[in-house]
Amino acid sequence: MNANPLANPAPQHPVPQHPAPQAAPARGLWQIAVRRLLRNRVGLASAAVVAAFLLLILTTASGLLARDWDQQYAVSFAPPTAIAGNPQDDDAVGQGGTGSQIDPRAPVDLYGVVDPLADVMARIHGLSAPQAAAVAPEPTSVSGVVDPIGDALARAKAVPKSAVTQQRAVSLTLGADKWGRSVALKVVKGAETSVLVGLAAAAVATLIGTLLGALAGYCGGWVDATLDWLYGVFTAIPYLLLVFAIAAVLQQKGVTTIVLILGLTGWTGVYRLIRAEYLKHKAREYVQAARAIGASHLRRMFVHILPNVSHVVLVQLSQQVVGFIKAEVILSFLGFGVPVDVVSWGSMLNETPNELILGKWWQLAAAAVMMAVLVTAFAMLTDALRDALDPRLK
């Protein structure tokens, strides 16, 4: 980004162009960065939005909120409360049911087949549902262990089917999905998965990229050549093919898998930038000076140079988070995403094509708005960070 003249009326602290290895000037750089960040109102607002999301994620992860997102709260595709009561929705496909009211307890002809569970089933069928649960103490039971809460649990479960149906809401704040789950709860719980995936994958990618970039840039020679070759291999393969290949190797689904897929494919950009920075910095005077006073290679790489290129790392990290939140959505949309007992914005968007055919738009709207807000806020925060951290922009 070009220097922004409006962002520059800073007090003219004499910041050294190439900070010496002492701690004090480095702190000065950070202080300036913080001051610059605090002056950027858009950046602060974005930071507040991001912080709010992180808070939300803490509440859902700790189980305070949206723990029961998988429960059925409403009828299938209950509309958002604001537009509820539209009578034409009632006969839409997916609402009415097939009208097949089969009584599962009605006696059926066995056609002479011996039912090995006949007596147990007769006892269950002979009782009303809540009583049926109390059949538990039963001679065929081989386990002698008596569960103290077993009966109570069972009684609670054995609610007749019709009673459950009656309790279901006909509209919810943000509507319901096909299974009658609350879209509001899903979108909140989905934020947890999406943001965690974004953060974790970005951390993995940035870590790999920084380490390899530092090695290649600092060592040069055959190390650089080998790592460049690896970089070449990774960037030569089309991105989605690479994703599919890694997914095929990992052979399982889950949040960890997605983090690994994204992290293992996303490090190349960071690597390229960090390598270039190290190439530039390793010849500078302060590194020469560090060498002169006997600092080891590792110390020079990570104690002397790294702080001076950390703005690149930080900015890359935050850009990656945005990219990976979007990538998780794409992966889930392609079916490489989270398993069915986890919800993410991607898995929500994955459900929407079928819903849109039926005219049920609320899940798409909720997930898309949440994602747009977070991604925009994060992107603007990244911009602000870059402005604040770049040592060339005083």
Partner 1 sequence: MSVFPLPVALFLSALVSLPVAAADMPRPPAEASPKVLNVEIPVPETTLDPAAIQDLYSAQMASVIFEGLLGYDYLARPAKLVPLLADGMPEISDGGKQWLVHLRHGVRFAPDEALGNKPREVHASDVVFTLERLLDPEVHSPFSFLLEGKIVGLDAAARRAADQHAHFNYQAPVAGLQVIDDYTLRIQLNAPDVNFGHALAQPNLGIVAPEVVRHYGDQIGGHPVGTGPYRLVRWVRGSALSFEANPVYRKRLWNFDPGTDPEARRIASRMQGHAIPAVPRVEVRVIAEQQSALLAFRKGELDILYLQNKLAPVALDGRGALKPDLRKLGVQHEVTTEPEILFNYLNVEDPLVGGMAPERIALRRAILMAQDDEAFIRVIRKGQAVHLPYPVPAGVVGHDPAYRSLLEYDPAAANALLDAFGYRPGADGFRRTPQGQPFAVRYWRQSEGETREFEELYKRGLDQIHVHFEGHPVPFPDLLKAERACQVTTRLGAWIADYPDGDDFMQLFYGPNTHANNLACFQNAEWDAMYRKSVTLVPGPERDALYHRMARMLETLGVAKVSHTRLHHMLLQPKVVGFRKSMVSAVAEWPFVDLQ
Residues that bind partner 1 (CB under 8 A): 70, 72, 76, 91-98, 100, 102-106, 108-117, 120-121, 123-125, 129, 132-133, 135-136, 138, 140-143, 145, 147, 149-150, 153-154, 157-161, 178-179, 253, 335, 339-341, 350, 353-354, 357-358
Q: How many CB atoms lie within 10 A of CB 229?
A: 10
Question: CB of 352: closest distance to partner 1 in angstroms?
Answer: 11
Distance CA 345, CA 350 (A): 8
Q: In terms of CB distance, is 1 or 91 closer to partner 1? A: 91
| Stretch (H or E) spanning 221 | helix 221-236
**Orientation angle between helical segments 183-219 and 362-389, nearest 10 degrees:** 30
Is the Cβ of residue 117 or residue 283 nearer to partner 1 in the bound state?
A: 117
> For residues 349 and 385, which CB has a smaller minimum distance to partner 1 in the complex?
349
Continuous segment of H or E residues that includes residue 190 = helix 183-219
Q: Are 367 and 379 in contact (CB under 8 A)?
A: no
Question: Which residue's CB is nearer to partner 1, number 13 or number 125?
Answer: 125
Q: Which is nearer to partner 1, 110 or 283 (CB)?
A: 110
Instruction: Please identify, using beta-carbon distances, which residue of 2 and 101 lies nearer to partner 1.
Output: 101
Residue of 356, 338, 359 lying closest to 347 (CA atoms): 338
Q: How far is the CB of 181 from partner 1 (least distance, A)?
A: 10
Distance in Å, CB of 132 to partner 1, minimum: 4
Give the residue with the Cβ less far from partner 1, 55 or 117: 117
The answer to whether 178 and 351 are in contact (CB under 8 A) is yes
The residue whose two tokens read 């309790």 is: 167
Shortest approach of partner 1 to residue 164 CB, angstroms? 9
What's the Cα-to-Cα distance from 287 to each of 3, 27, 292, rounded to whole Å?
27, 18, 9
Task: Answer left, alpha or beta for residue 97, where phi above 0 means left and psi between -120 and 50 means alpha.
Answer: left
- Least distance from partner 1 to the Cβ atom of residue 30, Å: 46
Smallest distance from the beta carbon of 63 to partner 1, in angstroms?
14
For the bound state, the minimum distance from the C-beta of residue 254 to partner 1, rounded and expressed in Å, comes to 10
> Quick one: DSSP state of residue 146?
P
C-alpha distances (whole Å) from 257 to each of 61, 200, 201, 263 are 19, 11, 10, 10
Report the chain's terminal Cα–Cα distance, integer Å.
Answer: 13
**Which residue, 37 or 246, is less far from partner 1 as judged by CB?**
246
Q: CB 76 → partner 1: shortest distance, Å?
A: 6
> Would you say the C-alpha torsion 7, 13, 17, 21 has a positive or negative sign?
negative
